[in-house]
């Protein structure tokens, strides 16, 4: 008995130490912020550096932001650098070696950034059609883009020279992915097909799969032997790359599957839906692991952090939202917001409603423009176009002689900025109703008056 008691006490002590250690491990786990705030418009893409210490986000506000995810950073210090250079919404962004990044957008441009200085080191215009997504080869020598004109294209990373053009899809290409060996490229398009192409020649190898509905996203899985896809009519499925068959349907949702992300351990696929839900599935079996009401409306992109215990997701909100996967909270409120400023309902002022619907995504009415895609409208009437201090105007507006008043603003909504201010980055916003146009102008004149 004298021998057993000390052994028992030692065992209990070790057990207590183990429990305390596990508790401390959870307590000292990296705490990601619930929100990353700094963009002035909906966010299209989010990606995490491999060490988990930084993130990049791409936004409708024409900018890319480099974020500090370290534990010591305060919310106000999270933004390391704001990258300004695109002339339209930025749709995707990725890290590159040597502290660089690459981004693509609705302006059809590919831009290479120096993250140390925030400067542009190289850029190329691929044509006026928007670029929806990019993917980097595993050796970081080539990048592939999915374009609105129905093509996928490959460029060298260092020189941004065209390597190959893949033509054959009947409508816009939404998503691209290199194979594990970087020798082939997979594309998914709105025509409902997934195709495989030769990287060097750009020639079609084979139509891999025909779904029938648009393919929004694809992700290479299981060491490159299978491919998970998300479709516009809500199908989330997996196909074998070996034969293009053996389709495993994970789910059929009521809304489109907008985005996919593979966990760092390669075992889990996360899907973001048009309904604001995130679902996690075992890739091998298609078994549902988690379901989370994450946002109001679409999840445009998701990204796992190293360790797969946390992830970020983005969509119509101006901020990035963090989700703690392990350990899960007993109850989590939706960090997303509804209605957004451009979804205003219940106003008795028809002019205010038109402003919210047509203008508020890009513009504010306050002196501080709040990083929106367009300059503030404060003091608009009587102001010469292209003169708000600090806003990066297009050359066309900087050289314009337009003075904003009832007449010129009316022209803008009657004819469109492509006619009134050709060469600018202003999105086309026409109003067919004269009454609605006049109500908007009346509201703008009242709301933008300098106090």
| CATH, domain range 28-324 | 2.130.10.10
Contact at 8 Å (CB) between 221 and 283?
yes
pLDDT of the chain, 451 residues: tens digit per residue: 443 433 343 334 434 333 434 443 343 345 677 899 999 999 999 999 999 999 999 999 999 999 999 886 776 679 999 999 998 999 999 999 999 999 999 999 999 999 999 999 999 999 999 999 999 999 999 999 999 999 999 999 999 999 999 999 999 999 999 999 999 999 999 999 999 999 999 999 999 999 989 999 999 999 999 999 999 999 999 999 987 777 899 999 999 999 999 999 999 999 999 999 999 999 999 999 999 999 999 999 999 999 999 999 999 999 999 999 888 876 678 888 888 877 766 678 889 888 888 888 889 998 887 788 889 999 999 999 999 998 888 888 888 899 999 999 999 888 888 788 887 777 777 788 899 999 999 999 999 998 7
Contacts of 284 (CB under 8 A, 6+ apart): 222, 267
Measured between its terminal Cα atoms, the distance across the chain in Å is 88
222: left (phi over 0), alpha (psi -120 to 50) or beta: left
* Strands 54-59 vs 100-105: parallel, antiparallel or unpaired: unpaired
Tokens found for residue 24: 């401390």
Output the CA angle 119-120-126, nearest 5 degrees. Answer: 160
Q: What is the CATH number of domain 346-447?
A: 1.10.760.10
177 Cβ neighbours under 8 A, 6+ residues apart: 135, 144, 185, 186, 218, 219, 220, 227
Under a CB-based contact definition with an 8 Å cutoff, are residues 422 and 416 in contact? no
Residues in Cβ contact with 1 at an 8 Å cutoff, skipping those fewer than 6 apart: none
- H/E run at residue 119: strand 119-125
Q: What angle do CA 447, 450, 451 make, to 5 degrees?
A: 95
Per domain, the residue ranges of the chain are 28-324, 346-447
Q: For residue 273, how many C-alpha atoms fall within 13 Å in the half-sphere facing its CB?
A: 19
Which of 94, 31, 121 has the alpha carbon at shortest distance from 329? 31
């Amino acid at each position: 008995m004298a021998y057993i008691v000390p052994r028992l006490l030692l065992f209990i002590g070790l057990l207590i130490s183990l429990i305390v250690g596990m508790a401390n491990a959870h307590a000292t786990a990296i705490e990601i912020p619930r929100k990353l705030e700094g963009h002035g418009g909906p966010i299209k893409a989010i990606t995490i550096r491999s060490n988990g210490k930084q993130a990049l986000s791409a936004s409708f506000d024409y900018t890319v932001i480099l974020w500090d995810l370290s534990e010591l950073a305060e919310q106000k210090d999270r933004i390391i650098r704001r990258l300004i250079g695109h002339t339209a919404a930025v749709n995707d962004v990725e890290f590159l070696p040597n502290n660089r990044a690459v981004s693509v957008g609705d302006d059809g441009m590919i831009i290479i950034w120096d993250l140390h200085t925030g400067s542009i080191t190289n850029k190329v215009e691929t044509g006026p059609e928007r670029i929806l997504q990019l993917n980097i080869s595993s050796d970081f020598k080539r990048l592939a883009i999915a374009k609105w004109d129905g093509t996928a294209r490959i460029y060298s990373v260092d020189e941004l020279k065209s390597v190959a053009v893949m033509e054959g899809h009947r409508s816009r290409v939404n998503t691209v992915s290199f194979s594990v060996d970087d020798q082939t490229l997979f594309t998914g398009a709105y025509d409902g097909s997934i195709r495989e192409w030769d990287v060097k020649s750009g020639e079609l190898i084979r139509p891999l799969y025909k779904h029938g509905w648009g393919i929004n996203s694809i992700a290479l899985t299981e060491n490159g032997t299978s491919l998970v896809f998300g479709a516009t009519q809500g199908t989330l499925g997996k196909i074998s790359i070996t034969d293009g068959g053996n389709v495993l349907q994970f789910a059929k949702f009521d809304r489109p599957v907008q985005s996919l992300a593979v966990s760092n351990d390669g075992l889990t696929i996360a899907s973001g839906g048009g309904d604001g839900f995130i679902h996690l599935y075992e890739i091998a079996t298609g078994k549902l692991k988690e379901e989370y009401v994450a946002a109001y409306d679409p999840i445009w992109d998701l990204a796992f952090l190293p360790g797969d215990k946390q992830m970020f997701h983005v969509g119509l909100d101006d901020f990035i939202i963090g989700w703690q996967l392990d350990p899960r909270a007993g109850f989590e409120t939706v960090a997303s917001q509804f209605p957004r400023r451009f979804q205003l309902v219940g106003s008795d002022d028809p002019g205010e409603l038109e402003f919210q619907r047509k203008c508020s995504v890009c513009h504010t009415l306050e002196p501080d423009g709040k990083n929106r895609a367009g300059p503030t409208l404060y003091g608009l009437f009587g102001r010469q176009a292209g003169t708000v201090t600090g806003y990066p105007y297009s050359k066309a507006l900087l050289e314009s002689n337009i003075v904003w008043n009832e007449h010129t603003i009316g022209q803008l909504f009657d004819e469109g900025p492509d006619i009134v201010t050709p060469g600018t980055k202003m999105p086309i916003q026409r109003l067919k109703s004269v009454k609605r146009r006049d109500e908007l102008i009346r509201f703008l004149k009242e709301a933008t008056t300098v106090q």
